[in-house]
Amino acid sequence: MVRIVTDSSADFEPAEYEQMNIGCIPIPVTFGEKEYRETVDLSKELFYELLEKEELPHTSQPSPQEFIDIINSAKESGDEVIVILLSSALSGMYHSAMMTKSMAGFDNCYIVDSLNGTGGQRMIVEYAVKLRDEGKNAAEIVEKIEALRKRVVLYACMDTLEYLHKGGRISGTVYRVGSFAHIKPIIHIEEDGTIGIPGKAMGMSKGMEFMIKRVEKHMPDEEFPFYVMYTKERDNGEILRERLKKIAIDVPDERIIPVGAAIGTHIGPKACGLVYIAKEN
């Protein structure tokens, strides 16, 4: 049997892990002196409630024991296991897992760098599940998902610069000037898994227009789902969905998904975005 495991930054809901028969490694999130584990005792709703009233949290890596337990369990059962993790450019989790695998000496454990997060990571996991259910072995699945990840397109428009400022990623001057001018940065996951800022919009409406133009430039592969994402409040996600209809992209309710702590810590509430698999060139 092939086991599939991911971390909570893939932003599935707890029930979805069970429905899809995949394991979840919760990411620790600390507010002040209290540590939570995403999807265990920290829902997305509670996360944003705390984010707006507490000091900026910090996220950390799961303990090596989490990976040891996954590997040992698969070993004992004679299973293969694929662990699909948040981009190594955004977290040290992938490298930690690789070190643990090396020490365990278990060849049937595959650690995959998603080079993505949130909805992008989710799409890679969903594709792995589809391949597993079709009867592919672990090596075949890994080969296909590592090819697919190059085609993931993810853009998001931030509503506020506050959390970039709190996290020390922009200066106070840039924060004040940008906020006064209603600048909304557009973020994009690059091919190497880093976060780029390909544009800045004057207001959320212009930010949505920017993202939709990018979709028109690199059209989605209709064999894969198209997701709209949002942080905390669904309103901007719904507006983006309506605007996507103008370019003949219809996003059903279940594909409008909330973003959790791994990315939400840095972009804050009221952001919205989109993620899809681009057509092959």
Task: Quick: pLDDT tens for 102-138.
Answer: 988 889 999 999 999 999 999 999 999 999 999 999 9
Q: Which two tokens stand for residue 79?
A: 């299973």
- 191 and 214 within one domain: yes
pLDDT score recorded for residue 56: 85
- pLDDT tens, position by position, 61-99: 999 999 999 999 999 999 999 999 999 998 999 999 999
Which range among 167-171, 212-216, 265-269 has the greatest average pLDDT?
A: 212-216
Q: Which two tokens stand for residue 99?
A: 């070190």
- 11 and 144 within one domain: yes
Q: How many residues does the chain have?
A: 281
- 248 and 114 within one domain: no
What single-letter amino acid sits at 188? H
Query: What percent of the chain lies above the pLDDT cut of 90?
Result: 78
Average pLDDT across the chain, whole number = 91
- 123 and 28 within one domain: yes
pLDDT score recorded for residue 172: 56
CA distance 249 to 245: 5
Closest CA to 271 of 225, 239, 226: 239
Query: Where is the domain boundary, 149, 181, 211?
Result: 149
pTM of the entire predicted model:
0.93
Looking at the structure of the chain, the number of domains it has is 2
Give the residue with greater pLDDT, 281 vs 275.
Answer: 275
Please give the residue range of the domain that contains residue 135.
Answer: 2-149
Using 50, 70 and 90 to split pLDDT, how confident is the model at 177?
Answer: very low
Q: Could you give the C-alpha distances from 64 to 61, 69, 209, 262, in angstroms and in order?
A: 9, 9, 43, 19
pLDDT score recorded for residue 55: 83
- 157 and 63 within one domain: no
